[in-house]
């Protein structure tokens, strides 16, 4: 493909992308969130098996740390209370 043709194609794609973005930004927040989630998911190249394997490795590593006594647990409700307090303080 000639360089000039390539640039023309890129300009058309960018113009179409901009047009789509303009249209999407006029949608409700809920619709935009759904579309954003779909777009993000489409970028994920890992298979479900790879994702499951990666999570299993994370869980196993964290379990070893806890069982070795190198991490102390925290009550989930205390952590949530702290998060809520920080969020309230930001307002």
What average pLDDT does range 62-83 have in this prediction? 91
Write down the pTM of the prediction. 0.40
Query: Where residue 10 falls among pLDDT bands split at 50, 70, 90?
Result: low
Structure tokens belonging to residue 4: 């000039």
Structure tokens belonging to residue 43: 């970028």
CB 51 within 8 A of CB 62: no
Q: pLDDT tens digits, residue range 29-47? A: 999 999 998 988 888 788 8
Q: Is the confidence at residue 1, as pLDDT, over 80?
A: no
CB 73 within 8 A of CB 66: yes
């Amino acid at each position: 493909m000639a360089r000039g043709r390539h640039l023309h194609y890129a300009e058309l794609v960018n113009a179409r992308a901009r047009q789509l973005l303009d249209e999407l930004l006029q949608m409700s927040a809920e619709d935009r969130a759904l579309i954003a989630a779909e777009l993000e998911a489409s970028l994920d190249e890992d298979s479900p098996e790879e994702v499951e394997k990666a999570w299993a490795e994370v869980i196993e590593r964290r379990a070893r740390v806890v069982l070795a006594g190198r991490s102390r647990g925290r009550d989930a409700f205390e952590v949530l209370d702290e998060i809520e307090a920080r969020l309230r303080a930001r307002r």
